[in-house]
Amino acid sequence: MDLLFGLITSLFLTMILIPPLIRSAASISFIDLPNERKVHQTGIPRIGGLAMVCGALVSVLLWCELDRFAVSYLIGAGILFVFGVLDDVRNLNYKIKFGGQLLAVLLPVVYGGVKIVHFPFLPLDMILPDYLAIPFTIFVLLGITNAINLSDGLDGLAGGTTLLALGVIVVLGYLGNGISSMLISLAVIGSIAGFLRYNTHPAQVFMGDSGSQFLGFSAGLLAIHVTQNVNTALSAALPLLILGLPVLDTLTVMIQRISEKRSPFSPDQNHIHHKLLKLHFDHHEAVFFIYVVQSGLILGAYLLRYESDLLITGLYMLFCLAIVWALRQAEAKGWRAHAPATPAQSHLLTRYIIWLRDRQRLSQWSLYTVALVLPAYLIAVAVFSGRISIDITMLTLLMLGILLAAALLNFRRHNKLLWLERVCIYITISIFVYLIETAADPGTGIRVALNAMLAAIALAVAVNIRYAQQKNFEPTPLDYLVVFLALVMSFSPITLVHGVDIGVGLIKLIILFYGAELLINRVGPRQNLSRLAVYCSLSLVGIKGIVAL
């Protein structure tokens, strides 16, 4: 429970701190102004790092056992935060900034015992002496801290990629029973999730150097700690996959600058995200592309966690070559992400899809599919769920009463209470997912039919998002991140809680939430049938619960 409370505490604190900080950003000179190397066009408050660090560190103080590692992490993160804030306000000289980073990483290495003593390619029983391990660990931590800092160039980019890295660190910590590493990782994940609520494009707030350096320091320190201290059976080369993308981005940019006889720290627009924008990817697509690449590396880190250092290093090098080669080929050949194809160049399937799009057939058919299948799924769950407990019965009847009252009031007040209906529908969906996940097996045929309904809803929502000219709701990279994490959870070793598969339940919940969101945003006659089906399914569950009393 401490792990869950650590996540919730940091998420909550970060989300409630950001709005007042946004309002006061101008008065305390926390505004990020646009320039030639930035993609935003107006001044944006860069106070997200303040909220993130406060949320994460308070959560760690409240819920984590304060051993030497946790104490050194807290003090190091605090030092880095102070220098980051000063840099955001006064644009510190790079020597002072580097001095702050060095002081921050010294504490967990010297006092906290986080050292790279198991070097890749060396036998497991061969340990590096301190005079080699300490300077090498400091060098690696400084490199990762600055790599994450430099990769913070698009809305949601540094936060999302770091969240993915910390997610696999949580799983690896669980496999080695590293409670401190898990709790600290979840606290930082919670702060990132709270921040991304305001940082998804178009961003309302930036994290600034105080936030990006904090994320780099946290991710680097935890990756080393979990592979060197928590579970030494893990490959020592595993951090290459966990944090390899920002490292690749930083190295390629610096090599290019040096080859052009410029300072490796001089500003430019040669990062991977800049190159994707030059290839005419829009903001969301560029962030999503990097999320996908990072996700592949994270999955590789989990699947190859006990493999040889040679295999992991070799695969990482192949990955680096593939990314660099693909970007150079795309630039050299003038490839563009949104270059339109003529009908003559299109395949038969493409021409058929264009024909469907001409009259919005795909959009309408996908909407009809969700409007019919989602209510049918709820009714089927109500019919085939097992015995209904008294608390679920009361909650179900409460939701039914509120929904009926909201419908009546909406009719009289011209849909002024649609937000209340939305909340009740989401709670209803959560109840029904719980019911089907805790019910006895209804049989192979029913189970296949229910899963087919979910697949139809997921496909219909995806088609509507892709092809609707009138956008019912706009997905963001944060949505894709949520879906990916739900898929990963279904394969994680920590998904079973009291016999319930949390990962599978989370996937069902997300599919039904997006389906409901699609219907709610299309108010009209089509929604009346869906409303009626929701009322019927709630009534069925309520009646079954009352009968079982």
Q: Give pLDDT tens digits for 144-158.
A: 999 998 888 788 888
Tell me the chain's radius of gyration from C-alpha atoms.
25
Question: So what's the pLDDT on residue 187?
Answer: 94
Question: So what's the pLDDT on residue 77?
Answer: 95
Question: So what's the pLDDT on residue 28?
Answer: 67
Residues 299-309, mean pLDDT to the nearest whole number: 91
Question: So what's the pLDDT on residue 345?
Answer: 45
Q: Measure the CA–CA gap between 531 and 383, rounded to whole angstroms.
A: 18
User: Does pLDDT of 492 surpass 70?
Assistant: no
Four-point Cα dihedral 384, 389, 391, 392, nearest 10: 0
Residues 449-453, mean pLDDT to the nearest whole number: 87
User: Does pLDDT of 262 surpass 90?
Assistant: no
Percent of the chain with pLDDT strictly greater than 70: 81
Question: So what's the pLDDT on residue 533?
Answer: 78
Instruction: Considering only residues 481 and 164, tell me which one the structure prediction assigns the higher pLDDT.
Output: 164
User: Does pLDDT of 6 surpass 60?
Assistant: yes
341 — pLDDT class (breaks 50, 70, 90): very low
Say what the pTM is.
0.71
Contact of 541 with 388, CB cutoff 8 Å: yes
Q: Give pLDDT tens digits for 359-385.
A: 466 677 788 888 888 888 988 888 888
Question: So what's the pLDDT on residue 424?
Answer: 82
Q: Which residues contact 298 (CB under 8 A, 6 or more apart)?
A: 164, 165, 167, 168, 241, 242, 488
User: Does pLDDT of 191 surpass 70?
Assistant: yes
Q: Measure the CA–CA gap between 346 and 238, rounded to whole angstroms.
A: 43
DSSP secondary structure string for all residues of 330-362: HHHTT--TTPPPPTTTS-HHHHHHHHHHHTTHH
User: Does pLDDT of 420 surpass 90?
Assistant: no
Residues 47-55, mean pLDDT to the nearest whole number: 91
Question: So what's the pLDDT on residue 343?
Answer: 47
Question: So what's the pLDDT on residue 346?
Answer: 46
Whole-number mean pLDDT of the chain?
81
Q: Which residues contact 359 (CB under 8 A, 6 or more apart)?
A: none
163 — pLDDT class (breaks 50, 70, 90): very high
Amino acid, res. 231:
N
Q: Give pLDDT tens digits for 228-256.
A: 999 888 999 999 999 989 999 988 988 88
Q: Which residue has the tokens 């946290």?
A: 218
Q: Give pLDDT tens digits for 264-299.
A: 777 777 889 888 888 888 877 888 889 889 989 998
Q: Give pLDDT tens digits for 203-226.
A: 788 888 889 999 999 999 999 999
User: Does pLDDT of 502 surpass 80?
Assistant: no
Contact of 282 with 154, CB cutoff 8 Å: no
Instruction: Considering only residues 305 and 345, tell me which one the structure prediction assigns the higher pLDDT.
Output: 305
Nearest alpha-carbon partner for 137 in 112, 102, 97, 109? 109
Listed by start position, the domains of the chain span: 2-235, 350-548
